[in-house]
């Protein structure tokens, strides 16, 4: 695991109300951060590689964000790196790290990495919660339920892999789906598996359907696993991803729905112990826009 040094702007002359995220980094924190240095899944999926450098690229702008007085403490458990083409081994190691972190932390935030991160995140969550009914909420332009091809699992297959493990208990809601980014084969598979979808273009008209689906997902499950693929955002908000979105969902809409989910979990007395943010590719990130966007989402998930 590689180490990140949590530091940032110092406004101590303004007193304790001038704290930033890095001030809450400590051993034995309430929440945990784990990085997953991987773009092997993106490579296998014929995308733009570079996501392995995403975790620390998110930590940088996250560290300096201002925070309220009640912001929770957190512990950084470093990064797990996929060595060469050993994606499956890396995912297993990520799962083991999450299981260990869940023993002492309320929430584990995983910073990817391509969306192959999701399978490792789920392995950890299921390993720690073998009997829980788990609902998956994915903010993503892509369904990521492709069949595994000759190259093996990829950033396009994680929810297919999860469904293979979960069987009829597979409960998956994808918000922000772009019709142009998914084949008819994927839509047919989603229908066959009972996948719930909210299309990206409908979110410009109303959030009512998305809120209804989130409420229902929370109600019928014990635990929610939340995963955010940054390519759900418009290309100008998230240029540094494997596959930038031509249309995308406005950042304010994603933030609103993430907040709605966090509130809903609390109101319905459910839990959200594992979440992740994936697909940041710093090599294509103009003025760190995508990293700064991801940092704001990370702050939201650590605070919630």
User: Does 123 reside within a domain?
Assistant: yes
Task: Provide the sign of the torsion angle of the four alpha carbons 113, 241, 198, 292, taken in this order.
Answer: positive
The reply to whether 192 falls in a domain is yes
Q: Over the stretch 238-291, which tens digit does the pLDDT of each residue have?
A: 999 999 999 999 999 999 999 999 999 999 999 999 999 999 999 999 999 999
Nearest Cα to Cα of residue 7 among 30, 32, 25, 33: 25
User: Is 271 exposed, middle or buried (CB count within 10 Å of its CB: 0-12, 13-18, 19+)?
Assistant: middle
3 in a domain, yes or no?
no
Residue numbers of the domain that contains 242: 20-303
pLDDT one-digit tens code per residue, 22-70 = 999 999 999 999 999 999 999 999 999 999 999 999 999 999 999 999 9
Q: State the pTM of this model.
A: 0.97
Chain segment 79-112, per-residue pLDDT in tens? 999 999 999 999 999 999 999 999 999 999 999 9
Residue 10 lies in a domain: no
CATH number of domain containing 59? 3.40.800.10
Instruction: Report the DSSP pairing between strands 223-229 and 271-278.
Output: parallel
CB atoms within 10 A of CB 104: 11
Count up the domains in the chain and report the number.
1
Residue 67's SS3 state is coil
Averaged pLDDT for residues 228-233: 98
Asked if the structure places residue 9 within a domain, the reply is no
In a domain, 210, yes or no: yes
Give me the helix-helix angle, 117-128 and 158-166, nearest 10°.
30
Residue list for the binding site for Mn(2+) = 115, 140, 142, 144, 229, 231
Beta bridge partners of 228: 139, 277
Residue 179 in domain: yes
Binding site: residue ranges? 115, 140, 142, 144, 229, 231
> Is 292 domain-assigned?
yes
For residue 54, give the nearest of 300, 293, 299, 253 by alpha carbon.
Answer: 293
């Amino acid at each position: 695991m590689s180490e990140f040094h949590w530091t940032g702007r110092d406004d101590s002359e303004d007193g304790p109300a001038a704290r930033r995220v890095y001030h809450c980094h400590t051993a034995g924190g309430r929440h945990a951060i784990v990085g997953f240095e991987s773009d092997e899944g993106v490579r296998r999926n014929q995308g733009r590689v570079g996501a392995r450098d995403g975790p620390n690229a998110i930590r940088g702008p996250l560290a300096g964000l201002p925070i309220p007085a009640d912001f929770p403490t957190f512990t950084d458990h470093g990064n797990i790196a996929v060595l060469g083409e050993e994606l499956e081994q890396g995912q297993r190691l990520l799962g083991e790290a999450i299981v260990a972190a869940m023993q002492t932390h309320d929430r584990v935030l995983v910073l990817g990495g391509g969306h192959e991160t999701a399978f490792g995140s789920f392995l950890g969550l299921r390993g720690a919660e073998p009997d829980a009914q788990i609902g998956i909420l994915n903010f993503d332009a892509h369904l990521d339920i492709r069949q595994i091809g000759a190259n093996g699992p990829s950033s396009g297959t994680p929810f297919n892999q999860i469904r293979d493990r979960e069987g009829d208990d597979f409960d998956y809601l994808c918000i922000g789906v772009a019709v142009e980014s998914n084949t008819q084969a994927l839509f047919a598979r989603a229908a066959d598996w009972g996948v719930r979808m909210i299309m990206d273009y409908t979110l410009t008209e109303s959030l009512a359907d998305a809120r209804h689906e989130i409420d229902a997902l929370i109600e019928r499950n014990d635990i929610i696993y939340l995963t955010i693929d940054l390519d759900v955002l418009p290309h100008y908000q998230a240029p540094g991803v494997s596959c930038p979105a031509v249309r995308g969902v406005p950042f304010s809409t994603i933030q609103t729905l993430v907040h709605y989910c966090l509130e809903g979990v609390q109101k319905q007395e459910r839990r959200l112990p594992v979440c992740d943010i994936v697909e940041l590719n710093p090599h294509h990130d103009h003025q760190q826009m995508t990293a700064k966007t991801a940092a704001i989402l990370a702050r939201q998930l650590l605070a919630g």
